[in-house]
A and B are shown apart, each in its own frame.
Chain A
Amino acid sequence: MLEKALTGTKKYYGWMAALLAVIGVGFACYLWQFSFGLGITGMSRDVSWGFYIAQFTFLVGVAASAVMVVLPYYLHNYKAFGRITILGEFLAVASVTMCILFIFVDLGQPTRVVNVLLHPSPNSVLFWDMIVLNGYLLLNIVIGWKVLEAERNDVAPAGWLKPLIYLSIPWAVSIHTVTAYLYCGLPGRGFWLTAILAPRFLSSAFAAGPAFLILLCMIVRKLTKFDPGKEQIQSLAKVVAYAITVNVFFFLCEVFVVFYSGIPEHMDHIKYLFVGLHGQGALVPWMWTSMILMVVSIILLVNPVTRKNETVLVVACITVFVGTWIDKGLGMISGGFVPNPLHHVNEYVPTLPEILIALGVWAIGFLVLTVLFKIAVTIKEEVAGLA
């Protein structure tokens, strides 16, 4: 099936070439980082995790959201999603690939990464995160590939796939839960020290992921002869609508607990993000933008009139994606580190090479995504006799 990715229109080749160029630039910056050290980034003694880990966190969410198409189809026999489960699974593959790469580029000693396997430490959440991420990647590659192959050959998927598919459902939840546990189990980091962190991560994931999938479906419809379907897109839009609402609700719960209890160690981080602390507040405009985007998207998505209008839906999905990205990809990680445990306020701003490396990783993700979607869509076209 892989050969389907080798032929395409000029536009397809142009897009792939552009991605490869971005990857090239990112890789060159990574080589620089590899020889110099992480000092080329904006990270510091106080903000020791930055843009890379934030992207990782956000993308774990996008990856986990595949469950939002897999679950209704396989557990509730919601037939409509049968058309697009493969798209969800392949999106998960691309996202998890990026997650693993983001962890990798964040390591100070990347050549020693196998130490995690040589000295397995079940007491470390990072050890479990490695297991769930790699497992999820494997599950989605195998499931996606075999189901697509079966569809192409016009046979039923192999029986042994069923248990794997059912396993992939709780597994999807686990990847984002474990990722939240990386943060919320740390004493002395008031911002993350909340039992609702994993649920918050999941709700923003189930908003951002399906919103992105809707956008991808629209692109597929425009560029190819395969139509993911109006009903499918509308169902996904409802998922996004409620997930983003729940996400904002969870955040408000957080705000209530933190400010009504009035515990400074918990308040200071949110203050830093939304109003600034000790005169420093690089993220303030971003955080308010994020909040406004999320609220606007709720209005657009919950209201059936606007949701059913596909042009408005595109806007709403972009709004959700950008809003949750700022929340998790910018605020969530550095917000937890400012102020630091000694209550010094040292801000973090990513540097240009750091952003270029991150863009390189994103480009690798999009390359994987394009190849996988190209294969899936070509086969869907063939099966439907459209090719």
Chain B
Amino acid sequence: MVIDTRKLQSEEDLEPMIEVCDKIHNIPKFENKNHEIKWLWAEEFKHEFPMQEPDFLNDRLKHMSFLTLCNHCEKAPCVRVCPTKATFKREDGIVLMDFHRCIGCRFCMAACPYGSRSFNFRDPRPFIKETNPDFPTRTKGVVEKCNFCAERLAVGKMPACVEASNGALTFGDLDDSESEVRKVLRSNYTIRRKPALGTGPSVFYIV
């Protein structure tokens, strides 16, 4: 996935994407910050790219909101540490969670260098405003994260955030040199989060 941050200036620009994601995936809203569940959310530059922040970052980037989500890493540490293969990498590269199998040890949360994972500290159902019957909720005691809309990809649709992005997000097969994402990557300078860790994030940012 490539995120063109030039087209997403303010938090308002990100809202439709976050909203649709929360809605179709039955993501609860908790009062207690400790219990928060986040799949797709906004962060400032210094949090999105910690230690990559130049001293004199230009004003636009400094106050901008960046879209934050699971990086579906090529060498995903969460997959490496999972003791039950509840987190696994699909052949197409998507890192998925099998909620049926997760024992809730939260090793994956410690392993993820991007803070992309959330844990169900309690039953989420009473905290879901409007339930989408086409997608399951989660049960207490399992970890969850962005699934790149695997359920939509299965029926030939684009991830919901991509669809709601007005062209700011490009999604496709990074291994296919003719794909739309590769074309965008070829013609733009992009950065990734914490590249030095060798995890190989699949989410690129045009800044």
Contacts and interface: CB of A to CB of B under 8 A. Distances in A.
Interface of A: 36-39, 41-46, 48-49, 103, 106-110, 112-113, 115-116, 118-119, 121, 123-127, 130, 182-183, 186-189, 264-265, 336-337, 340-344, 346
B101 A119 contact: yes
Interface stretch (B30-38, B57-65, B160-168): B30-38
Given A45-B36, A108-B142, A186-B81, A124 B107 contact: yes
Chain B at the A interface: SS class = loop
Chain A at the B interface: SS class = loop
B34 A37 contact: no
Interface residues of B, number: 51
B48 A342 contact: yes
Contacts of B203: none
A37 B120 contact: yes
A38 B141 contact: yes
B93 interface: no
Contact of A115 (B103, B139, B198): B103
B106 A123 contact: no
B34 A187 contact: no
16 contacts: A49-B110, A108-B102, A108-B104, A108-B106, A108-B119, A108-B120, A108-B140, A109-B141, A110-B104, A115-B84, A116-B83, A124-B80, A187-B113, A187-B198, A341-B50, A341-B115
B104 A341 contact: no
B50 A342 contact: yes
A268 B120 CA distance: 28
Contacts of A264: 51
Given A103-B105, A130-B83, 5 more contacts: A36-B140, A44-B33, A188-B113, A264-B51, A341-B112
B83 A109 contact: no
Interface of B: 32-38, 43, 46-48, 50-51, 68, 77, 80-86, 101-107, 109-115, 118-123, 139-143, 194, 197-199
Contacts of A113: 103
B165 to A, nearest CB: 22
Contact of B141 (A41, A48, A107, A336): A107
B104 A186 contact: no
B50 A343 contact: yes
Given A37-B123, A48-B109, A187 B84 contact: no
Contact of A108 (B35, B50, B103): B103
Contact of B111 (A46, A112, A186): A186
Nearest to B99: A109
A44 B86 contact: no
A237 B83 CA distance: 39
A342 B105 contact: no
